[in-house]
Amino acid sequence: MIKPRRVLLFALLALPAIAAPAAGQSTPADQVSTPTKGALYFSGQTGRYLVDGTWYFRQDAANQGLTQHFERQTSLDGWSPVTVPNAWNATDESDQSDRGSIGWYRKDFTLPTAPRATTWKFRFESINYRARIYLNGREIARHEGAFLPFEVVAKNLRRGVNQLVVRVDSRRRATDIPPAADQVNGRPGGGWWNYGGILREVYLREVRGVDIQRLLVRPTLPCVKCDSKVLFRATVWNGTSRKKRVRVRGSIGGVRARFRSAVVKPGKLRTFVSRVTLRHPRLWQPGSPHLYRARVSAAGSGGAISTYNTEVGVRQIRVNKRGQMLLNGHRVDLRGASQHEDSPDHGMALTPQQIMDNVSLLRQLGANVTRSHYPLSALMLQECDRLGILVWEQIPFNRERFAAGSGTLAVDDAIATSKAVRAKALGLLRAAIARDQNHASVFAWSAANEPDPRPKRPERDYFNKAVATIHRLDPTRLAAVDLAGYPNMPQEDTYAQFDAVGVNSYFGWYPGSQGTLEDRQDLAPFLRQMHGYYPHTALFVTEFGAEANRSGPVDEKGTYEFQRNFLDYHLDQYDADPYVNGAIVWILRDFRVQPGWDGGNARPSPPYLKKGLVDQFGNKKPAFFDLARRFRDTPPLR
């Protein structure tokens, strides 16, 4: 098993305190830095530099920055020093904080040493939500959407000091994913707190003529004892002003991949494909997560070259006719906890150490599966690959409804909104698969969380296209959807087409519509009903949990004792059901969800959701230790 490198990761944690600049002062010389060579995660192109050190930030709640041209300012008046990643409202629990605002980030830097013909790209791992990128006073790009990376060619660079400015707008609209949402009482709502800012790291990446923008290395396994066929697909960009004949070479596990050379026109993309055979491969699975390192290089005339490294695992995922998922020919019995990227001090802009702390909690819990409402950080996915923790990956398409003419929208506006949102969701799905398709840990692509149980035509259209998209782009993993579980939920052909259905199960916690969830003894019949509805689909419990923020009677909701009893009862039902392939607790760690949150707890701790096995400060609740013992006694493969 490949062990993760820690050198850069821990070096970032020892940043010195940053003094505020004097009024009227431009960026101090000692704060104009050169990005640091290296990245927090292994997979990707060589020639990555972390844009670290001191950044500057200023709030723009009045939205005056565009007219006042913050992007051209040389003075630091009104700017405060920060480090990136950064959520500007990380400690602000007001309603306005959750509604969103506008903030500006600025970084003065010099380029690393490189040949003069080098092209540079910025890579932003996650910005929430709308971003406008400026370099040396000129706008070079715009982007919308969080949780997935985007890259920008760094036009207008200088030899000396360069100034990167990013305007971030976290105010949500009806067509955003996730959208603006209000509670019944008019306070802001949603599935998690709306943190504004540059939420993950930023890289500067050197491109010497040609660039491998994307690399797919996909092993397939016809049978458990078969040789593995490995598909290489490299997408190469010619960043020069002349056409180039590009030669591509690759390898995996000591086996060379051969590609046909081809001419790539200036500024254009071309895909290069090769297939190789890995004989007698070592398989990836929980408890034995073997990874192969793959490497691909593209070389163009005149010395242009690009190299991309990644790690992949050989494993087979399928669903049998009884709706049981098989991993390398074995039935699975997965146990774990979902997670949110959230902390009391940094909000969603977690430090590398905080990400590794969550990895450690999963290991201590004995989890072999995890889940989130959005694609997790690349560092977290890397660690899941290396530790054998499976990932149910979901796009942030949470409780969306497509009802033409609903709310305050006219019918025509609602239809247009529905089409726009569906198009964005499918775009997010494609982008998530493109980023994470090499990760051995990812076993399912979930198209939505808790959609309409009775989907209308727009929903049916979206899900039909989502399933087709997943099967076309990645036939080796499961197309999935997560449904809110109720005893009276209908059977729907729309959801039967998925390979896997997740059920969010809160029997005995929430009352549900007309009290349908109050009796936890209805859980076992409900599970049998769901298997009857979808007999050929792999059934997972993707959420179950209870709030806990104090000690008290076992029959009092909100106590540690109630949470322990609740989770034990649910796990007993899941252990006894042969068609439940996995159960994922909601959630690993408490997080901010929305103002006034009570979550069914008579004595809540708003705005925190307290269903975590660990509180927001990292203190383990009693249920954590109970589940750790149970999970150790539940082998992931049968």
> Does residue 396 belong to any structural domain of this protein?
yes
What's the confidence (pLDDT) of residue 23?
55
Q: CA triplet 184, 188, 191: central angle to 5 degrees?
A: 95
User: Is residue 529 domain-shared with residue 561, that is, in the same domain?
Assistant: yes
Find the CATH number of the domain harbouring 307. 2.60.40.10
User: Is residue 222 domain-shared with residue 271, that is, in the same domain?
Assistant: yes
The sign of the dihedral angle between the CA atoms of 108, 113, 115, 118 is: negative
User: Is residue 427 domain-shared with residue 478, that is, in the same domain?
Assistant: yes
The residue from 312, 347, 369 where one domain ends is 312
User: Is residue 531 domain-shared with residue 587, that is, in the same domain?
Assistant: yes
**Residue span of the structural domain in which 139 resides:** 7-203
User: Is residue 223 domain-shared with residue 362, that is, in the same domain?
Assistant: no
> Does residue 637 belong to any structural domain of this protein?
no
> Does residue 2 belong to any structural domain of this protein?
no
> Does residue 382 belong to any structural domain of this protein?
yes
User: Is residue 191 domain-shared with residue 224, that is, in the same domain?
Assistant: no
Residue 527 dihedral angles phi and psi, to the nearest 5°? -65, -40
The residue from 162, 180, 203 where one domain ends is 203
Residues 219, 310: contact at Cβ < 8 Å? Answer: no
Could you say which residues of the chain have pLDDT below 70? 1-24, 402-417
Find the CATH number of the domain harbouring 50. 2.60.120.260
Whole-angstrom distance, CA of residue 124 vs CA of residue 197: 11
Residues 470, 382: contact at Cβ < 8 Å? Answer: no
The sign of the dihedral angle between the CA atoms of 405, 410, 411, 417 is: negative
User: Is residue 112 domain-shared with residue 151, that is, in the same domain?
Assistant: yes
The sign of the dihedral angle between the CA atoms of 577, 580, 582, 583 is: negative
User: Is residue 244 domain-shared with residue 100, that is, in the same domain?
Assistant: no
Whole-angstrom distance, CA of residue 236 vs CA of residue 46: 14
User: Is residue 34 domain-shared with residue 149, that is, in the same domain?
Assistant: yes
> Does residue 557 belong to any structural domain of this protein?
yes
Whole-angstrom distance, CA of residue 368 vs CA of residue 332: 10
Residues 400, 451: contact at Cβ < 8 Å? Answer: yes
> Does residue 568 belong to any structural domain of this protein?
yes
> Does residue 1 belong to any structural domain of this protein?
no
Q: Which residue type occupies 38?
A: G
Find the CATH number of the domain harbouring 497. 3.20.20.80
Task: Give Cα 513 to chain centroid, integer Å.
Answer: 31
| Residue 232: exposure state from Cβ atoms within 10 A (0-12, 13-18, ≥19) | buried
What's the confidence (pLDDT) of residue 2?
47
| Token couple for 390 | 């499976």
Neighbours of 358 (CB within 10 A): 25
Whole-angstrom distance, CA of residue 167 vs CA of residue 146: 14
| Residue 497: exposure state from Cβ atoms within 10 A (0-12, 13-18, ≥19) | middle
User: Is residue 375 domain-shared with residue 282, that is, in the same domain?
Assistant: no
User: Is residue 274 domain-shared with residue 332, that is, in the same domain?
Assistant: no
> Does residue 638 belong to any structural domain of this protein?
no
Q: How many domains does the chain have?
A: 3
Whole-angstrom distance, CA of residue 623 vs CA of residue 613: 6
User: Is residue 404 domain-shared with residue 551, that is, in the same domain?
Assistant: yes
Q: CA triplet 216, 218, 222: central angle to 5 degrees?
A: 165
The span from the first CA to the last CA of the chain, in angstroms, equals 22
Region of residue 500 (phi > 0: left; psi between -120 and 50: alpha; otherwise: beta): beta
For 560-577, how does the pLDDT look when each residue is reduced to its tens digit (9 = 90+)?
999 999 999 999 999 999
Residue 457 dihedral angles phi and psi, to the nearest 5°? -55, -45
Q: CA triplet 188, 192, 194: central angle to 5 degrees?
A: 65
Whole-angstrom distance, CA of residue 171 vs CA of residue 188: 11
3-state SS of 27-49?
CCHHHCECCEECCCCCCEECCEE
Rounded to the nearest 5 percent, the helix, strand and coil shares of the chain are: 20, 35, 45
Helix axis angle for 411-436 and 457-473, nearest 10°, is 20
Biggest alpha carbon distance in the chain? 75
Whole-angstrom distance, CA of residue 591 vs CA of residue 161: 40
Whole-angstrom distance, CA of residue 280 vs CA of residue 602: 57
Residues 151, 237: contact at Cβ < 8 Å? Answer: no
